Chain A
């Protein structure tokens, strides 16, 4: 099967090696689909030597910070991020689970104050392998499956 060609971008961010099917979730977590955002390209089920199938997200005209992108490590631990300037990759890094996860994860504890009052959710990463986080508010820990269910 021929490799899907996606237009190269002049300036912006390319998130590569996203596990197939997770591209949309990446866009959602990074809030890239705002009406006033730049051009956004999602390539899904692209052939990949490493992963078999992968998704790629390209964002024209926006440079995402490492911290910003690290949020997606929870769902796309294999992702790599390329910062493109003038059609060339100026910077490249692998995503890493940050020490603190702010704003993207909901607490699984129904009686947690963060599910009832206005707050920005905050979790501390207790362990990366296996993934375990602790809610800043109710102090309950969540493991992998619960985390994915509450993103």
Chain B
């Protein structure tokens, strides 16, 4: 099936999970201006960090990060170990490690199989500035302030399942000179081979691929981490959990996300539209696999849920659409992946009929 497309909604209630650069003594939240109005957002980088941290809490060591550059008075860089064979987070989140030009070091690069958009407020919201003083035991109070807001933030995401645990190799004919492997890369390939990785041709490139059991485990880890998501700034003052309030997941053939307009907003506020979902699924018939998994936290916008369930009554009845708690939906899907009997085909690219030449 290849891709798991989705859209998640995180409802922030009086919070400031991602701050921008502060001005004077006031911490500002990040916002984007859309059609002249302010939409607070949480950057994708921040959410990816929360998910990464969630994986560490599950007992999976994260790739160590080293900061380079500042001491040497050069451009600052922070690199992970760039070892996707040992560290699932390097595998799932990708990296780029640029080698020093003068040393002629190789740049190693891995595209992230997990792609995530910005968690952007679906409706405009006006952050409130909270004015604060620190007056305890000092004669002259210290003034400080910060912004916070309440908003429903939505982001699309896409997980490229066949690419998890699949590492393409440079071919022998690099541009200009033979594309030799660095010692580091060669050792990684050796380690992968020792773990039972096999040779594959992946999307037209030679690659080594970890055994499917390990690849399933890594995909499941990511979903489990989203099921336990928390993190972000200002938790001491604005604690709030970040488990998605609504999450929609569709296994898809191609790297398309048809869910953009399913969770959206208009003048009246948040909208979660069953009719849009039905329309999209119809238009993409044959490109997706049932069921569409929807997680909806009980008590969150019951009015919208009632309407959504009415719009998709037929699909819910025949279980084309399944609704549950986001946590159970994610954990069940993760368990099904780990089990490996029913979803292993998701980890391979779908076989497509070759395109036929038009008959003249």
Q: Do A and B bind each other?
A: no
Chain A interface residues toward B at CB < 8 A:
none
